[in-house]
Amino acid sequence: MKKLLVILDGLGDLPCRDLGGKTPLEAARTPALDSLASRAKTGMLRIAGDVAPESDVGVFSVLGYNPFKYHVGRGALEAFGINAGFR
């Protein structure tokens, strides 16, 4: 069985007056996402109550890492992602 994990990190946003009180996602046309969602199991994964729901912690947790033990911070991950190098 093949599986695909899609993490729509940063997708949530606040309602916008220019969009008639809708969020950017509510106002957007998303046929590809709609198609995937209609055939998938969807949901939200929460991390422990005292961990901030930030991208770095969330993605590490979804991938099976303990966010308390392996938290390196968002900056280090972003630097790694663009091959910036760091010490």
Q: What tens digit of pLDDT does each residue of 12-62 get?
A: 789 999 999 999 999 999 999 999 889 888 777 666 667 666 777 777 787
Q: Which residues of 12-42 are buried (b: 16+ CB within 10 A; e: fewer)?
A: eeeeeeeeeeeeeeeeeeeeeeeeeeeeeee
What is the pLDDT at residue 78?
A: 81
What is the pLDDT at residue 65?
A: 84
What is the pLDDT at residue 18?
A: 96
What is the pLDDT at residue 6?
A: 80
Q: Are 61 and 45 in contact (CB under 8 A)?
A: yes
Q: What is the pTM of this model?
A: 0.53
Q: Which phi and psi (to 5°) does residue 16 adopt?
A: -125, 130
Q: Domain coordinates of the chain in residue numbers?
A: 13-43, 47-87
